[in-house]
Amino acid sequence: MISNDKKEVLEKLELESRSLFQDAKIRFFKNKAAVLSLVIICIIVLFVLFGQNLSQFAYEDTDWDLMQVAPSFLTGHFFGTDDLGRDIFVRTLQGGKISLMVGLMGACVAVVIGVFYGATAGFIGGKIDGLMMRIVDILASFPFMFFIILLVTFFGRNIGFIFVAIGMVSWLDVARIVRGQTLSLKEKEFIEAARVSGTSNFKIVQKHIIPNVIGIVIVYATLLIPNMIIFESFLSFLGLGVQEPDTSWGALVNEGSKVMDIAVWQLAFPGLFLVITLFCFNFIGDGLRDALDPKDR
């Protein structure tokens, strides 16, 4: 049971934090680059999801008479075709689905694991915290990328596996950040209040700590997405990406980079989408950080 005045304090705090978010929102929307990026990302997402309807081709269909032809509205291949006569336009859309999904899911895995681990360590503190953070230190000096190469080489690939693998590498930083935040939050009055009022530790972590660190986590996650997409393209380069005829921007760009001198459209179109997307996520991430962290500048 929470006594009335304590309840009041809590409500007031909640109010305060809400206005904090509102402030952030205002600041974010003042940042033109970030807002523009957000709009572009939304357009790209919609385009990737529904653009298929603009073309008469399916992403796996081959055409022996139109192999590696330049973009043309006459043939209906807006972005040209690859060396099997497949339409680059629909393949770019298909690749976008996979790349964005890998980015989002990878970031989610990293955030979920990282937040719970970091918040737990920070909240419990003491010896267990030390132990948990030592484990993070040990893991941080693992050559994970090489492990992933091994894993994907030996045990085949599917998209789910790539999500998890990529997420596994990135959760360490999230855990560190969240732990740091948690440590400082722990000393704050409202946590103290919740603790005094008999709320269980798990509840405190869930109800108070996590919502309060979520801001910085979102920033971090936004900046993680482009890294995930780049990492997927690295796997594609090694021939360990998604299974054909499915594709990703990374895989398309990799194929295109091998014929850039003779069929530049194979590189240019998926490359443009990839670069713009990464740009936008970076701008949004920066915008969010500036918005949520007023002491910066």
Binding residues vs other proteins (CB under 8 A): 60-62, 64, 67-68, 83-84, 134, 137-138, 140-143, 145-147, 149-151, 153-156, 226, 230, 233-234, 237-239, 243-245, 250, 253-254, 256-262, 267, 271, 274-275, 278-279, 282, 296-297
Tell the smallest beta-carbon distance from residue 43 to other proteins (Å). 18
Cβ distance to other proteins smaller for residue 71 or 210: 71
Tell the smallest beta-carbon distance from residue 295 to other proteins (Å). 9
Tell the smallest beta-carbon distance from residue 195 to other proteins (Å). 30
Tell the smallest beta-carbon distance from residue 156 to other proteins (Å). 6
Long-range CB contacts for residues 205-214, cutoff 8 Å, separation at least 24: 205/119, 205/120, 205/123, 209/119, 209/122, 209/123, 209/182, 209/185, 210/115, 210/119, 211/17, 212/17, 212/181, 212/185, 213/115, 213/118, 213/119, 213/177, 213/178, 213/181, 213/182, 213/185, 214/115
Pick from 166, 204, 170, 200: which is nearest to 185 by CA?
204
Cβ distance to other proteins smaller for residue 106 or 204: 106
Cβ distance to other proteins smaller for residue 73 or 154: 154
Cβ distance to other proteins smaller for residue 80 or 204: 80
- Beta carbons of 129 and 122 less than 8 angstroms apart: yes
Tell the smallest beta-carbon distance from residue 4 to other proteins (Å). 43
Cβ distance to other proteins smaller for residue 2 or 66: 66
Tallying the residues shown for the chain, one arrives at 297
- Residues 168 and 107: their CA atoms lie apart, in Å, by 10
